[in-house]
Chain A
Amino acid sequence: MIHSRRELLERCIAFGAVTLATPKSLSTVALAWDAADNKRMPTPASVLGPFYKRDAPHNAVMRTAADAGMPLSLAGVVYSINGNILPDAKLEIWQTDHYGHYDNEGYRFRTVIAPDGKAAYQVESVMPGHYPARVCQHVHYLVTAPGHKPLVTQMYFGSDPVFEGNPDKNYSRDPLITSRELVRPVSIKEDEKQMIAVVKFDVVLEKL
Chain B
Amino acid sequence: MRISRMLGASGAVMALHLVSLCAAEFKPVSSMRMPCVSQRQSLSPKGGVVAFFCEDHSVLLVDASSGATLHSFPAVPAVLGSTFSRDDRWFAVLHPGGEVEVVPAAAASPATARKFKLQGNLRDIDFLPDGSGFLATVDNGPGQVWDTRGTPKQIATLHNDFGRLTANCFSPDGRLLVTADGDTVIRFYDTANWRPLHEYRGRLLETFTVEFTPDGKHVLLGGADDTIALLDTAGSEERRTEKDPFVPFVIVPFGSSGQALVHYFDADGKAADYQAIWSRENGKSTPLKLDGAVTSARAINGQLWLVTTKGNQLQIAEYH
Q: Do A and B come from one complex?
A: yes
Distance in angstroms between the alpha carbons of A55 and B182 in the assembled complex: 14
Q: Are B268 and A101 in contact, CB atoms less than 8 angstroms apart?
A: yes
CB distance from A18 to the nearest CB of B (A): 42
Chain B residue with Cβ nearest A134: B269
Interchain CB contact (< 8 A) of B226 among A48, A104, A142: A104
Q: Which residues of chain B are within 8 angstroms of A152 by Cβ–Cβ distance?
A: 140, 162-163, 182
Check A50–B162 contact: CB distance below 8 A.
Answer: no
What is the CA–CA distance of A12 and B267 in the complex, to the nearest angstrom?
A: 63
Docked CA distance A50–B225 (Å): 11
Q: Could you say which of B63-71, B77-85, B203-211 contacts chain A?
A: B203-211
Interface residues of A in 124-179 (CB under 8 A from B): 131-133, 142, 144, 150, 152
- Once the chains bind, are A49 and B269 in contact (CB under 8 Å)? no
Near A by CB (< 8 A), chain B positions 160-201 give: 161-164, 166, 182-184
List residues of chain B with CB within 8 A of the CB of A144: 162
Cα of A69 to Cα of B183 in the assembled complex, Å: 30
| Interface residue? B238 (CB, 8 A) | no
Which residue of chain A has its CB nearest to the CB of B185? Answer: A54
* A-B interface pairs (CB < 8 A), number: 59
**Residue A40 is within 8 A (CB to CB) of chain B in the complex:** no
- Chain B, interface size category, equals 20 to 34
Determine whether B270 belongs to the interface, using a CB cutoff of 8 Å to chain A: yes
Contact A49 B204 (CB under 8 A): no
Interface pair B163/A132, CB less than 8 Å apart:
no
Q: Say whether B182 contacts A48, CB under 8 Å.
A: yes
A55/B204 contact (C-beta < 8 A), A104-B226, A150-B161 known:
yes
- Indicate if the CB atoms of B267 and A48 lie closer than 8 Å: no
CB-based contact B140/A104 at 8 Å: no
Q: Which among A52, A53, A142 has the greatest number of chain B C-beta atoms within 10 A?
A: A52
* Residue B276 at the chain A interface, CB threshold 8 Å: no
A150 to B139, CA, bound (A): 13
CB distance from A92 to the nearest CB of B (A): 9
**A49: B residues at CB distance < 8 A:** 163, 166, 182, 206, 224
Q: In the bound complex, how far is the Cα of B317 from the Cα of A153, in angstroms?
A: 43
Which single member of B182, B225, B226, B268 contacts A52 (CB below 8 Å)?
B182
Asked if A54 and B204 make an inter-chain contact with CB atoms under 8 angstroms apart, the answer reads yes
Given known pairs A48-B163, A133-B269, the reply for A54 and B183 (CB within 8 Å) is yes
Q: Would you give the shortest CB distance from A108 to chain B, in whole angstroms?
A: 14
A45 CA to B163 CA, complexed, in Å: 10
- In the complex formed, the residue of B with least CB distance to A45 is B140
Contact A51 B224 (CB under 8 A): yes
Say which residue of B164, B205, B269 sits within 8 Å of A51 (CB atoms).
B205
Contacts of B164 in A (CB 8 A): 47-48
Shortest Cβ gap from A47 to chain B (Å) = 8
**Cβ contacts B255-291/A at 8 Å (1 or 0 each):** 0000000000001111000000000000000000000
Contacts of B183 in A (CB 8 A): 54
Distance between A90 CB and nearest chain B CB, rounded to angstroms: 11
Contacts of B204 in A (CB 8 A): 53-55
Residue A102 at the chain B interface, CB threshold 8 Å: yes
Q: Is the CB of A142 within 8 A of B162?
A: yes
A56 to chain B, nearest CB (A): 9
Q: Which 9 A-B residue pairings sit nearest by Cβ, starting from the closest?
A: A132-B269, A48-B182, A48-B163, A150-B162, A54-B204, A49-B206, A54-B184, A45-B140, A53-B205
Q: List 10 additional contacts besides A48-B182, A102-B267; criterion CB under 8 Å.
A: A48-B162, A49-B182, A51-B206, A52-B182, A52-B206, A54-B184, A54-B205, A55-B204, A104-B224, A132-B270
Please name 11 pairs of A and B residues whose Cβ atoms are closer than 8 Å in the assembled complex, sorted by A: A48-B140, A48-B162, A48-B182, A49-B182, A49-B206, A50-B166, A51-B206, A52-B163, A52-B184, A100-B268, A150-B161
List A residues at the B interface (Cβ < 8 Å).
45, 47-55, 100-102, 104, 131-133, 142, 144, 150, 152
Chain B residues in the interface with A (C-beta under 8 A): 139-140, 161-164, 166, 182-184, 204-206, 208, 224-226, 267-270
